[in-house]
Amino acid sequence: MQQYDLISLRSFIAVVDKGNFNQAAELLEASTAAVSRRVSGLEKALGVKLLNRTTRRIDLTESGKQFYDDVVNILHSLEEAEERIQQGTNTIKGTLRIAAGVSFGINCLSPLLTSFMKLHPDLEVQLKLDDHTTDLVAESIDVAIRIGNLKDSTLVANRIGYIPRFFCASPDYLSKHGVPLHPKDLSLHNCLRYISSNAKNGFDYFRDGVEHNIDVSGSLSTNNGDVLKDAAIKGIGITLLPPFIINDAIKKGELQEILADFRPQPFGLYAVRQSRDFTPAKVTAMINYLKENYITY
């Protein structure tokens, strides 16, 4: 069997992750032709076809899928080996892959992340912002920031803090439709709802030590809080959002908190990582930094 090198493996992984040779070449800071030659050489050395190439897309063959999964695990093991060697030093190196929701990532994580990076200038950070739940294993994520009640899984969750949520609407909406005095009154209003795979239908509220859920309806539901905030500011309806999304709008008078005595119980804020015998120093450092510096509103 012909030999192949680590850069050929990384080129193959990059092509699969990016979906095309051009973006893989940009990531690897190489020419598209060079990346293509490396992958072709890898296929020749293995004696199998890894990729089905067309003018529009690149798909993994069955052999390619198996090889991709195995190689990703091998590269993770190599990274862990490097981490073990570097554990005795004060320098944190390598690539740290982080996933978070869009609104939280922009409003809360970004300022903390830049400060963290100044402490560790040899660390490369790749931040993925997505309001869908990220598959840590499939997308090679080191740590994901998640909000809410976590489902049981093989992942390890470290609590960072809490995320409160406030009922709010624009002064214009409230002047036209009235101010609800109890969450049950929300059934008479246009409610703007956050939807996700983990979210309940309706709104939660908390009173006298008991959590309740009330069915509501409205003209807008979405998986992004900033969209809900903008709709509420424009007088479309009432919404339930965390302060990191609505604080500025409340300070400006664009939104007004209502039903303050019925705020739902705060969600937990977690740093989630894969369950492994060895936790890289870069992951531990990031989680500890968030614990020490995240401020719950």
Tokens 């664009």 correspond to what residue? 254
Structural fold of domain 166-265: D-Maltodextrin-Binding Protein; domain 2 (3.40.190)
d(CA 84, CA 177): 62
- What percentage of the chain has pLDDT greater than the value 70? 92
Chain-centroid distance of CA 133 in Å reads: 7
Options 1.10.10.10, 1.10.240.10, 3.30.530.20, 2.40.10.10; CATH of 6-71: 1.10.10.10
Domain coordinates in residue numbering, the chain: 6-71, 87-160+268-293, 166-265
- Quick one: pLDDT at residue 233? 98
Query: How confident is residue 2, by pLDDT bands cut at 50, 70 and 90?
Result: low
Average pLDDT over residues 127-135: 85
Residue 137's pLDDT band (boundaries 50, 70, 90)? confident
Distance CA 230, CA 174 (A): 16
CA nearest 125: which of 251, 253, 286, 250? 286
What CA–CA distance (Å, rounded) separates 194 from 225? 7
**283 contacts 142 by C-beta, under 8 angstroms:** yes
Average pLDDT over every residue of 203-219: 91
Name the band, by pLDDT with cuts 50, 70 and 90, for residue 100: very high
Phi-psi label, residue 175: left if phi above 0, alpha if psi -120 to 50, beta otherwise: alpha
Ranges of H-type helices in the chain: 6-18, 21-28, 32-46, 62-86, 102-104, 110-119, 171-177, 225-233, 243-251, 281-293
Q: Do domains 87-160+268-293 and 166-265 have the same CATH topology?
A: yes
Determine if the pTM surpasses 0.85: no
CA angle 23, 24, 27 (to 5 degrees): 90
Q: Which of 7, 60, 58 is nearest to 35 (CA)?
A: 7
Q: Give tens-digit pLDDT for 85-97.
A: 665 556 787 889 9
Residues 40 and 220: their CA atoms lie apart, in Å, by: 49
Summarised one tens digit per residue, pLDDT across range 65-79 is: 989 888 887 887 777
Selection from 130, 124, 105 nearest residue 269 by Cα: 105
Residue whose pair of structure tokens reads 């989680």 in the numeric block: 287
Per the DSSP assignment, residues forming a β-bridge with 167 are 240, 258
> How confident is the model at residue 244, as a pLDDT?
93
Range with top average pLDDT, 41-45, 170-174, 214-218, 272-276: 170-174
DSSP 8-state assignment for residue 188: G
Q: What integer pLDDT is reported at residue 297 of this predicted model?
A: 67
Q: How far is CA 154 from CA 51, 75, 136, 271, 273, in A?
A: 31, 21, 11, 14, 9
Looking at every residue in the chain, the average pLDDT score rounds to 88
How many residues are given for the chain? 297
Where residue 18 falls among pLDDT bands split at 50, 70, 90? confident
Question: What is the model's pLDDT at position 132?
Answer: 81
pLDDT at res. 287:
94
- pLDDT (tens digit, 9 = 90+) per residue, 138-164? 777 899 999 987 775 678 889 999 999
Least confident of 38-47, 89-98, 108-117: 89-98
Q: Which residue has the higher pLDDT, 72 or 119?
A: 119
Contacts of 79 (CB under 8 A, 6+ apart): 94, 95, 280
Q: What is the pLDDT of residue 6?
A: 86
Please tell me whether residue 34 adopts helix, strand or coil conformation. Answer: helix
Label residue 238 by pLDDT band (50, 70, 90): very high
The verdict on domain 87-160+268-293 having CATH code 3.40.190.10 is yes
